[in-house]
Amino acid sequence: MVRTITIQQTELGVENGAFIYKGDAATYSNPSVFEKSGNLIGLYTYPYKLSASQAELWAANSGVTGGEFRKGTLYVHFVLDLPASNMKQSIRGEGWGSTSKMVFKLYRWDTDYNTTLAGDPIITNTIPYTEGKHYDMLPSGKTVAPGEYMLSLEATDTDINNPQYWSWGKANDKFVKGAWCGKEEMTANFPEFYCVYDTKVNGSGQVACKTSTDLGKTWKDQADESFAALSKKWLGDYTVASNFNFTTFDGYYYVTFDKAGDKGICVTRCKIAGGDWESWNGSGWSADGKTAVWTSSTPVSLVGKDGAVYAYYMDGDNVVSVKYAGGDNWPASGQQSVGYAFTEDAPAEIDVKYHAGSSEYVATYVTADREIGTLTSTDGVRFTVADPLPVDSYYLWAGASGVRYAVDAATGTVKAKSYISYKRGEGTKGLYAFPEK
């Protein structure tokens, strides 16, 4: 028999917490909450949306007095927040012959103008020029990942003395960080250069980061560099990133997620102290390589404890426990067991956290009656019914899913008087968190 915590319920629920996000969250992940430096951090993913009008990114603001320059090789230092599938520069017809060509080079930005150009270009492309027509400077099918770059554009024909570029008077400084003709830095008449963001990013998973400094009463947006970097990585890889789950252990943030919505679970990590997100590629951790599917299953939760790592997911009626020996490459191999077998009304997903106060691994899930069901384990592998945990007197709304405890960032464990979060799918919808009593 599965123990459940009996909860008095009404269709309206009881307001004993606060919304991390209020609104229709059908396409959002279940929330994860952790405690850090006395504050609560709430994380969830949502699908990125980019309209056609947002996709065009211009180097200068329209509607200003324009000018032109004709001084030779053009250089532009710029930043991409999304993958770009198209780059063009407006070239005037005067001074160009019918067979003229341009050479486009793209460099990763490194410190300053001179250091950047001392490096090797990552893209070189020779582009034909016909008056009145703008050619894409990128090779066919090439997409440039989010990042900071410098481009150069120069004429190849010796008979062209004055290649002329259309320009505008005021730079879009959110996009363009600097421009030069030769070695002369421009402070006006910026080039009429533009990029087109790749609309394939639509649907890519983005991490929303909320913070509460008043014990969960109110939640506000937080510009956290670590999770902004994860969002940018997923945009660059067009990763859907559903079924998001977060925890911490061994000095790392860990995230498991479904990369393409097809039960292909991946795992990525980042040092809590800061750094790149590294994805498991099948044999090791890589900051640059593509993410490999780690396991094919329902959503996975992780626990790190005493040098070992435990993963948990549902397989039909069974709670599957996988114990890994630890070490840096722990995802490579683990020992799988059936941790618990439901005899009826098995949940679609579970979440497991280690509770330091009771020295137990606690699995939480939403029952068919909208109760918070729990299973406990002392070894992290086999789960049984145990004494009730102190979460009575809390109410779940209809359409509830993803009940999870908050972990402490420093220990990766659940502290006493912690917080519980879940998604509310009916009534007043959203992502909700409330404290233990």
Instruction: Say which CATH number the domain at 136 has.
Output: 2.60.120.820
- Are 329 and 390 in the same domain? yes
* 170 and 23 share one domain: no
- Verify that 165 and 39 share a domain, yes or no: no
From CA 237, how far away is CA 291, in angstroms rounded?
Answer: 9
| Token pair of 430 as six digits | 């959203």
* pLDDT number for residue 181: 84
Domain count, the chain: 2
Q: Is residue 289 part of a domain?
A: no
Rounded to whole angstroms, how far apart are CA atoms 256 and 163?
Answer: 52
Do 238 and 363 sit in the same domain of this protein? yes
CATH number at residue 234: 2.115.10.20
Residue 291 within any structural domain of the chain: no
Residue ending a domain, choose from 149, 165, 199:
199
State the Cα–Cα distance between residues 86 and 142, nearest whole angstrom: 8
Task: Tell me the β-bridge partners of 41.
Answer: 34, 211
* Residue 231, SS3 per DSSP: helix
DSSP 185-216: EPSSSEE-EEEEE-GGGTT-EEEEEEEESSTT
Residue at 41 is within a domain? yes
Domain range enclosing 339: 4-48+203-265+298-435
pLDDT of residue 61: 64
- Identify the burial level of 140 via C-beta atoms within 10 angstroms of its C-beta, where 0-12 means exposed, 13-18 middle and 19 or more buried: exposed
Same domain, 116 and 233: no
**Residue 8: predicted pLDDT:** 39
Domain boundary among 155, 177, 199: 199
Give the pLDDT confidence score for residue 75 in this predicted structure: 92
408 and 303 in a single domain? The answer is yes
H or E segment to which residue 304 belongs: strand 301-305
Distance CA 90, CA 101 (A): 14
- Same domain for 129 and 187? yes
Q: Check whether residue 237 and residue 102 sit in a common domain.
A: no
Of 154, 31, 179, nearest to 104 by C-alpha is 154
Token pair of 98 as six digits: 């019918």
Q: Are residues 315 and 247 in the same domain?
A: yes
Amino acid letter, 58: W
Split the chain (437 residues) into runs of 10 and give each run's mean pLDDT: 42 66 95 94 95 84 56 86 88 59 92 97 87 79 92 73 65 86 82 88 94 93 88 88 94 93 88 91 84 87 96 96 93 95 92 95 89 93 72 73 95 92 93 87
Phi, psi of 16 (to 5 degrees): -115, 15
Dihedral of CA 54/59/60/66: which sign?
negative
40 and 133 together in one domain: no
In the listed set 169, 199, 229, which residue is the last one of a domain according to the structure?
A: 199
pLDDT computed for residue 6 by the predictor: 40
Question: What pLDDT sits at residue 288?
Answer: 75
The answer to whether residue 283 sits within a structural domain is no
DSSP label at 290?
P
Task: Assess whether 233 and 177 both reside in one domain.
Answer: no
Other beta carbons within 10 angstroms of residue 356's beta carbon come to 16
237 and 117 in a single domain? The answer is no
**What is the distance between the alpha carbons of residues 404 and 366, in angstroms, rounded to a whole number?**
10
Q: Which two tokens stand for residue 171?
A: 């730079």
* Residue 193 in domain: yes
In a domain, 275, yes or no: no
In a domain, 229, yes or no: yes
Q: Is residue 287 a part of any domain in this protein?
A: no
What is residue 184's predicted lDDT score, i.e. its pLDDT?
Answer: 86
Check residue 363 and give its pLDDT: 96
Rg of the Cα trace of the chain?
27
